[in-house]
Amino acid sequence: MPHRRVACVSAEIVEISDQTWEKAVEKGEKPAVIMFYSPGCVHCRTMEPSFRSLAEQYGEVILFGRLNIASSMWTAERYGVRGTPTFKFFCMGRPIEELVGAVYPAMLERRIEDLLEHGEACVRSSTAIDYEITGYG
| pLDDT value of residue 12 | 82
Q: What is the CATH number of the domain that holds 49?
A: 3.40.30.10
| pLDDT value of residue 64 | 96
**Is the residue at 132 inside a domain?**
no
**Is the residue at 106 inside a domain?**
yes
Number of structural domains (the chain) is 1
Q: How far apart are CA 95 and CA 78, in angstroms?
A: 11
**What is the extent of the structural domain holding 15?**
7-125
Whole-number mean pLDDT of the chain?
84
pLDDT digits (tens, 9 = 90+) for 68-101: 999 999 999 999 999 999 999 998 888 888 999 9
**Is the residue at 35 inside a domain?**
yes
- 57-61, 70-74, 133-137: range with lowest mean pLDDT: 133-137
Helix (H) or strand (E) holding 68, with range, is strand 63-68
Q: What percent of the chain has pLDDT over 70?
A: 78
Q: How far is CA 66 from CA 20, 57, 81, in A?
A: 11, 17, 13
**Is the residue at 87 inside a domain?**
yes
**Is the residue at 38 inside a domain?**
yes
**Is the residue at 133 inside a domain?**
no
pTM summary value: 0.80
Q: How far is CA 111 from CA 8, 64, 122, in A?
A: 23, 13, 12
**Is the residue at 114 inside a domain?**
yes
The pLDDT of residue 133 is above 70: no
